[in-house]
């Protein structure tokens, strides 16, 4: 198991749709749930936590905690089992918020899978990213942010954070945005400046931030046709990127090779339907 949630990993392991995503742009001024609904959500949350506990595995839990910085509470539920629950629930905004607030790692991951991204407020997103302490939580927060109306704004805010997990989420959000959105909806001059920034500063960044920056370079080079060449050129100038991601076998992919591989397939500029996996 390599670093969970990275975009280049999901590119190769997930089922990739190359049609533009249909993203929700609804008014996010959500009504507060009434007391009866609050009670129902609390009961459902408790039932799901019991279900997650029954699905947990000690060996997978040890792997997450030793290799990926996950901490208690955690049951060690495999993503394949979380996906089965997601398929049953589909999408539930209030339940997702409650599961994330539980602090249980497995429940927090599931929350990202069932979240109604279009209803996430800036406050919701900020709370999620601040609690994204390790494992795939920063990437999960990024996936949800990218599907919200606030992804670009929050990403630019997060990449300036001195907290590495938040900065990581910011770059991962940007990578997800370029993978999902048509080039006509992207701020290409701003993205070009971000590429230039990475070329100048990547070596000085913390390990997890370098990893996320590298993912962003791969994403721009693979999904944004007008900027693919400059992303490739900058990645070549940066060279091999290293990052200590803990006690695991993770290696940082060499961005130029990855971008060229996508180019050989004739898939530069093809967008994804979803980044969640």
Express each pLDDT in 193-214 by its tens digit. Answer: 999 999 999 999 999 999 999 9
- Where residue 32 falls among pLDDT bands split at 50, 70, 90? low
Q: Could you report how far apart the first and last alpha carbons of the chain are, in Å?
A: 14
How many of the other CB atoms lie within 10 Å of CB of 267? 14
Q: Which domain holds residue 207?
A: 1-20+149-277
Residue 137 placed within a domain: no
Do 222 and 247 lie in one domain? The reply is: yes
Helices (H), 116-254: 122-131, 137-146, 151-158, 164-180, 188-201, 207-223, 228-238
Strands (DSSP E) along 13-125, which ranges? none
* Residues 102, 15 share a domain: no
User: Is 190 domain-assigned?
Assistant: yes
Same domain, 168 and 245: yes
Q: Look at the chain and report how many structural domains it folds into.
A: 2
Mark whether 200 and 222 lie in a shared domain.
yes
Q: Is residue 74 part of a domain?
A: yes
Does one domain contain both 44 and 74? Answer: yes
Task: Find the mean pLDDT for residues 221-243.
Answer: 97
Mean pLDDT, the chain, rounded, equals: 90
Instruction: List pLDDT tens digits, range 74-93.
Output: 999 999 999 999 999 999 99
The domain boundary, picked from 115, 131, 161, lies at 115
| pLDDT tens by residue, 134-173 | 999 999 999 999 999 999 999 999 999 999 999 999 999 9
Q: Based on the fold, state whether residues 45 and 108 are members of the same structural domain.
A: yes
42 and 1 together in one domain:
no
């Amino acid at each position: 198991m390599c670093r969970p949630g990275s975009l280049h990993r999901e590119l190769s392991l997930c089922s990739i749709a190359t049609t533009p995503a249909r993203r929700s742009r609804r008014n996010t001024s959500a009504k507060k749930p009434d007391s009866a609904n609050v009670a129902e959500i609390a009961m459902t949350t408790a039932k799901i936590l019991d279900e997650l506990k029954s699905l947990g595995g000690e060996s997978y839990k040890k792997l997450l905690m030793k290799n990926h910085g996950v901490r208690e509470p955690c049951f060690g539920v495999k993503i394949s089992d979380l996906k089965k629950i997601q398929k049953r629930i589909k999408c539930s905004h209030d339940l997702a918020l409650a599961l994330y607030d539980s602090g249980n790692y497995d429940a927090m991951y599931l929350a990202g899978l069932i979240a109604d991204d279009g209803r996430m407020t800036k406050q919701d997103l900020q709370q999620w990213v601040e609690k994204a302490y390790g494992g795939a939580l920063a990437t999960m927060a990024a996936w949800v942010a990218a599907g919200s109306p606030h992804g670009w704004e929050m990403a630019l805010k997060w990449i300036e954070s001195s907290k590495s997990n938040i900065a990581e989420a910011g770059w991962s959000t940007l990578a997800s945005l370029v993978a999902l959105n048509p080039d006509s909806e992207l701020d290409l001059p701003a993205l070009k400046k971000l590429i230039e920034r990475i070329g100048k500063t990547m070596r000085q960044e913390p390990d997890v931030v370098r990893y996320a920056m590298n993912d962003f370079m791969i994403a721009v080079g693979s999904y944004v046709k007008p900027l693919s060449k400059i992303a490739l050129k900058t990645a070549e100038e940066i060279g091999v990127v290293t990052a200590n991601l803990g006690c695991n076998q993770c290696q940082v992919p060499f961005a130029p090779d990855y971008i060229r591989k996508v180019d050989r397939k004739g898939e530069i500029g093809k967008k994804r339907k979803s980044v969640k996996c």
